[in-house]
Amino acid sequence: MAKNVKKKNPGSTYQKGKKGEDQASAYLMLKGYRILERNFRVGQGEIDLIARRGDKLVFIEVKTRRGKSQGTPLEAVTPHKVKRLSAAAAVYLAGNPQERGDCRFDVVTLGPDKNLLGLLKVRHFENAFSTEESFNV
């Protein structure tokens, strides 16, 4: 007897998030960022993109919104989310001692506004938030 297996809907939140991360990644590479990791997941949380630009290690949260009913993409980066991102970044740094040094947290948002071509507008907020935690790992 076959189990009812739920397939990922092409319009699912997962697929929209992945597409947004792909667009954010391409945008950042055009700006000179080198993407080191995508979807870094640990028990403490997930970091959408980890990149390097010059001597700066950058942990990046990507938020996509197609409409305004859920608020702006930046509003979705709550204090709880910041705490989870910070904890995941500490785990990443502990496991990658070669990456230690200056780091920051950025947010890349897509939408809900569109550009002149009808595509979701991309905004990059460098150093979007800071953490009180020290990364002494």
Please answer whether residues 120 and 23 qualify as being in contact, where contact means their C-beta atoms are separated by less than 8 angstroms: yes
Highest-scoring range by mean pLDDT, 7-16, 47-56, 104-113, 127-136: 47-56
Average pLDDT of 129-135?
Answer: 63
**Mean pLDDT (the chain, rounded):** 84
Structure confidence at residue 116 (pLDDT)? 86
Both tokens of 131, joined, read: 């953490």
What confidence tier does 137 reach under pLDDT thresholds 50, 70, 90? very low
Average pLDDT of 107-121?
Answer: 86
Dihedrals φ, ψ of 90, to 5°? Answer: -65, -40
Q: Which domains does the chain have, with CATH numbers?
A: 13-129 (3.40.1350.10)
